[in-house]
Amino acid sequence: MITTFRRAIVLMAVCACAASARAQEPRPADVPQMPVLTQTPQKASGTLTRAYIWAETRIDGASPASDGLFPEFGGIIPGGGLSAGPGYRHRLFGDRAIVRASAAVSPRRYTMMRSDIEWPQLLHHRLSLGGQVKYQDFTQINFFGIGSRSLKSDRTDYRLKDLDALAFGTVRLTPWLSVTGRAGVLQRLAIDRGLSTLYPSTAERFDDSGAPGLTQQPNYVHADVAIEVNTLDRPGYPSSGGRYRASVATFHDRDLARYSFRRFEADAAQYVPLGRSVLAFRGRIDVSQTGPGQDVPFYLLPSLGGSNSLRGYFDYRFRDRDMLLMNAEYRWPILRRVDAAVFYDAGSVASASHLLSRTIYTDYGAGLRLHSATRMLVRLDVARGAEGTRALVSFSTPLALPNRTVAPYVP
């Protein structure tokens, strides 16, 4: 963790210097301000400046439908460390369909491989359809027990492997209103001994009574439908607008008839511009429902902790059937492509929604955000909670909806 932390600081410092050098380059008043690689910067910062401009142009200029190789910085859940890998994108039938394949691996041997095909512009850009196959192997996922009273000293880890095949579709009713549906089969799901040498395996401290689904994992048929309102100016790094989403998901246990359940999710975020600064708020609630004789397996329970929720606590620190999360963040520019931020997080988990207000955990902190013109590149957060201070490095945008994995559940 310390090594990764130092590398991230060095990376952010180098890029910040490059951004600063670029911001100081003189531009003729009558020339459009465009990334021009033929300008001759000062010798001391020329290489860094050209590298930064190339990277920014490559990231912001790459169309989702452009062909060729691209870097994959996603697909790994929080806790795996910084991940990277290759990806390839190719258009079919002109611009009608896009085929993508990518893989990523992290220092903790978290692995992800996926391929998908999508028709993104059907019915005059109002409908998109596609399918995806995704394999993942996450080797050291934290588990502390279920409930808000779980103990930090009970930390264990487990390994999760699965293969998920799904179809998806989105109907864009207006430029800002869409409805999305997904349906798929989650199979070959296996819970194994975690690879951490610092903490015991989950099976050494817990059984099915404390971690439902620990000893047997069924195959699932799963489906969800979501309605979303999105008025963000830049989804990759917004400074104004809002995003409101509500969804219902069902999981049907095909083998054991013990772990079928439903889940309702509501997530809202609003960004308020204050001059060059931005004030952002997020709220989220998840509620699980089961029928008689059914339970939610521990690896599909809503969880709190980590870079996407409570930043001052370990990843997946708290789990239970229902979850409440609130975030607030204020950020302001300190260099051309570097922002500083302060934030406050609060959240709780409980076995029933009316108990969510009984125990609320909070944290606060500050961070840096390195970004391009339209996207978040990397961020560093330092957060203080009741269980100590944590430093986190992440590629994800703060307060944004994560790239959801079906299993394990990540808020």
pLDDT, tens digit (0-9, with 9 covering 90-100), for 127-166: 999 999 999 999 999 999 999 999 999 999 999 999 999 9
Please name the residues in contact with 217: beta carbons below 8 A apart, sequence gap of 6 or more: 189, 190, 191, 297
**Run of H or E including 182:** strand 177-193
pLDDT score, position 50: 55
pLDDT band for position 95 (cuts 50, 70, 90): confident
Contact 321, 288 (CB under 8 A): yes
Q: d(Cα 342, Cα 188) in Å, to the nearest integer?
A: 42
Instruction: Find the range with the poorest average confidence among 2-6, 142-146, 165-169, 256-260.
Output: 2-6
Task: Specify the range with the lowest mean pLDDT, choosing from 63-77, 125-139, 222-236, 383-397.
Answer: 63-77
Closest Cα to residue 324, out of 354, 350, 306, 347? 347
Which residues of the chain form CATH 2.40.160.50? 68-394
Q: What digits encode the pLDDT tens for the residues 25-81?
A: 343 333 344 343 334 444 444 555 555 555 555 554 445 547 899 888 777 888 888
- pLDDT of res. 120: 93
- Name which CATH class applies to 68-394: mainly beta
d(CA 383, CA 191): 31
In b/e form, how buried is each residue of 9-21, taking b as 16+ CB within 10 angstroms? eebbeebbbbbbb
Rounded distance, CA 303 to CA 316, Å?
Answer: 5
Give the strand pairing for 318-319 and 277-289.
unpaired
Counting residues of the chain whose pLDDT is more than 70, the rounded percentage is: 83
Query: 361 forms bridges with which residues in the sheet?
Result: 347
The Cα–Cα gap between 294 and 373 comes to 48
What are the C-alpha distances in Å from 309 to residues 145, 296, 318, 389? 18, 21, 11, 15
Kindly report each contact of residues 45-53 with a partner whose C-beta sits within 8 Å and lies 24 or more positions away, as own/partner.
Answer: 45/17, 45/18, 45/21, 48/14, 48/17, 48/18, 48/21, 49/18, 49/21, 49/22, 49/25, 51/18, 52/15, 52/18, 52/19, 52/21, 52/22, 52/337, 53/22
Q: Establish how many alpha carbons lie within 13 A of residue 141's alpha carbon, considering only the half-sphere containing its beta carbon.
A: 28
Q: Give Dmax over CA atoms of the chain in angstroms.
A: 73
Spatial distance between the Cα atoms of 282 and 357, rounded to a whole number of angstroms: 17
List Cβ neighbours of 148 (8 Å cut-off, separation of 6 or more): 318, 320, 348, 349, 350, 358, 359, 361
Of 82-91, 180-189, 340-349, which range is least confident?
Answer: 82-91
- Tell whether the model's pLDDT for residue 189 goes beyond 70: yes
Q: How far apart are CA 243 and CA 171, in angstroms?
A: 17
Interacting residues of 38 by C-beta distance below 8 A, sequence separation 6+: none
Do the Cβ atoms of 174 and 136 come closer than 8 Å? no
Instruction: Give the pLDDT confidence of 283-304 residue by residue, as tens digits.
Output: 999 999 999 999 999 999 999 9
Nearest-CA neighbor of 308 among 227, 404, 182? 404
* Residues across the chain: 411
The average pLDDT across 249-259 equals 96
